[in-house]
Chain A
């Protein structure tokens, strides 16, 4: 009992932080609800709020507005929320486990690995099912993470932010070169570019149905693991001193990252910077306790991606701006800020 209190003190899990996180969660959920309705409502076809309500709760097959909502708008909104939540939590886990402020699924090569394997799957098995594509995506996520993380951790002097970013961009550049080569050879460049741009514009209901269980499972694992991640974020030595089996925590954490990122990429392609930005903002607001950081990240990540998707639709209508480009435009200044703050050590 005493030890537990000590750990909580070390994590600075104060009363204030808990209140802040509660406010974030409630306000975030409210934002999420409003954005979902807005996302369903906005678009080329003019729909009333009554249509939205009726389509969800009193579905009428003969009404084209209801079909649009059920088949296009609703899956798209849900997909955006899921992907945003998955990427943000995935970034939070990585940052907590590696104690590296620049850790993020796109910087660590996870999304590039997924996209590469999806490109291969599209060539090797043209008629592949969505579930199969997702399995390839998981495998690719694992490969990308193993390459970047493995390389930096084997290097002399250990993992530093600069090294991680360099290795990540080198691996991403290698994997995307390979994907481009595959695309040019087999004439599927435009298909592949969908995954490279990142977006939820052509999401279908069954995509959401297939990915949802994986993302929910990943989020649950993350929540269960959150206390261990908090302890790990105090440092490997401290965690071991407190009796934690750091190897197992890291393994399970990595599995959660792969589940979340693999599923997110299979549905929306490469979307960067969500996993970088959100956990930092949350950590700034609620402190270093991952029991608060992870749920808050999930909610705000969902809001961010949903809003980015809405902005991408509005900013240059009728053209869609890929949501991956929008998150990059938001994320890069943030990355630069961190780079100026943390840019030491190679």
Chain B
């Protein structure tokens, strides 16, 4: 492919910069908002290392890790959705709707149930066990979806979606069985976690999540040409020489891994993986080399904004970020469905 810069390249860079700037803006609002209001000048001086001990504690130990996690989770889920939409050739795919979240949720609730919250919020070993548990669940869900939508040697996009919805219901039922047997206290924790919330306000979670994203997102961008070809449909992709099923499986694994690790820290966040890629495609066209980076940026911006909103809107009660995303995202989903893009 000789052509590297296109007519929309300048626009793409400008949009990346713009979302970046907006994220920084929300970052400052988010660091300031909360039970303790910290004036902007104090925030800046604390970030530069000359703050009071109290401000340093609030910012560095509580707010900053949460903000960083919201950004990372937002990126991961958004890119996961973009890949899923690419391989299913369906603009309405999303890891939450397809049941990958509930697969992860199911194993995490099993974990919470059998260890009854002993090492759940404390203890740093759980920090690394949680993502692995969630990852296991999301891969289980993806495996089931893939195998069950396999028919006569290939997987059709519509079947993939329908089977995903079925798997979602199955894991949902499994969840209910265990949830109802939990103690009220753990039950609330599980419920809030399942609704999607950035619950690890701890740097350890950042270190647990970061390596996954640093490897998987660039790899997805590296694969963007394959995604471009897959979007054209199976027959064209085969004609061009792409080994469809193999590439589809690999990309599905990347997408599921991203969703899985993000769900382990951010809980069941639905619709973000749907909205962000859409907005990106609208802004910069269909080429994944542009769509994926912008999707990541938009995902970060959206989730950080939603998390900030969730903390402020009903303070002192905190609303899980997943609920905010759902309430904002569902109408957009409906709009897309009606327009039938």
Contact = CB atoms under 8 A, between A and B. Distances in A.
B57 interface: no
B319 A181 contact: yes
A169 B173 contact: no
A272 B157 CA distance: 25
B170 A329 contact: yes
Interface stretch (A33-41, A69-77, A156-164, A279-287): A156-164
B323 A177 contact: yes
A321 B170 CA distance: 15
B165 A177 contact: no
B191 interface: yes
B270 interface: yes
Contact of A193 (B92, B174, B180): B180
Query: By DSSP majority rule, is chain B's interface helix, strand, loop, or mixed?
Result: helix
Most chain A CB within a 10 A radius of its CB, from B96, B165, B317, B333:
B165
A173 B163 contact: no
Given A173-B326, A332-B170, A346 B176 contact: no
Nearest to A157: B340
A339 B160 CA distance: 9
B317 A173 contact: no
Interface stretch (B75-83, B127-135, B148-156, B280-288): B148-156
Given A151-B334, A170-B97, A170-B337, A181 B166 contact: no
Given A197-B176, A197-B180, A174 B170 contact: no
Nearest to A170: B333
B162 A322 contact: no
Nearest to A346: B158
A304 B320 CA distance: 37
Query: By DSSP majority rule, is chain A's interface helix, strand, loop, or mixed?
Result: helix
B317 A184 contact: yes
B327 A178 contact: yes
A180 B194 CA distance: 10
A190 B184 contact: yes
B169 A332 contact: yes
B163 A166 contact: no
Given A180-B323, A181-B323, A324-B176, A344 B156 contact: yes
Interface string A134-169: 000000000000010001101111000111011101
Nearest to B175: A325
Interface in B166-185: 166-170, 172-174, 176-177, 179-181, 184
Contact of A151 (B157, B170, B319, B337): B337
A196 to B, nearest CB: 7
B317 A155 contact: no
A81 interface: no
A109 B331 CA distance: 15
B191 A193 contact: yes
A167 B334 contact: yes
A328 interface: yes
Interface of A: 102, 147, 151-152, 154-157, 161-163, 165-167, 169-171, 173-174, 177-178, 180-181, 183-185, 189-190, 193, 196-197, 272-273, 319-322, 324-325, 328-329, 331-332, 335-336, 339-340, 342-346
14 contacts: A154-B338, A166-B92, A170-B334, A173-B330, A174-B326, A174-B331, A177-B322, A180-B320, A196-B176, A332-B170, A340-B151, A343-B149, A343-B159, A346-B340
